[in-house]
Amino acid sequence: MKAATAAAAQLAQMKTLLATKNTAANAQILRIQDRIDTLGYGIDAGEATEADEAEQSALLVNLKAWKTYKFSLGKVTSQATWPTAPTWPAEPPIPDIKASPMARATDES
């Protein structure tokens, strides 16, 4: 009975951790995609600078890394070691987006 309770607790803990990682990955994907889209508007309008185009190119690389990470998270539960000892994919670096609305919120206080 103790083993079953411990196994259930382990499963619940791993499901919570997976959900947390998925939520964080979704947030990063949305954040990066929003900036890419915004830069694209300037590019389409012919008003973007070379720096804007370079930023968009760099963010496209970051976006691919985060999407790959999110996809890998979706495979964690199919591992033979789930839920006792899953191998988590490495989280990509979080890009610095200076024009992010989240960064500007502290400037207005």
DSSP, residue by residue, 3-50: HHHHHHHHHHHHHHHHHHHHHHHHHHHHHHHHHHHHHHHHHHHT---H
Per-residue confidence at 1, pLDDT binned at 50, 70, 90? confident
- What digits encode the pLDDT tens for the residues 29-85? 999 999 999 999 999 999 999 999 999 999 999 999 999 999 999 999 999 999 999
Per-residue confidence at 104, pLDDT binned at 50, 70, 90? low
pTM of the model: 0.86
80-91 average pLDDT score: 96
Count the alpha carbons within 13 Å of 99 in the hemisphere toward its beta carbon. Answer: 13
85-90 average pLDDT score: 97
Using the predicted structure, report yes or no on whether residue 2 has a pLDDT greater than 80.
Answer: yes
For residues 49 and 97, what is the distance between their CA atoms, to the nearest angstrom? 16
What integer pLDDT is reported at residue 58 of this predicted model? 97
Per-residue confidence at 107, pLDDT binned at 50, 70, 90? low
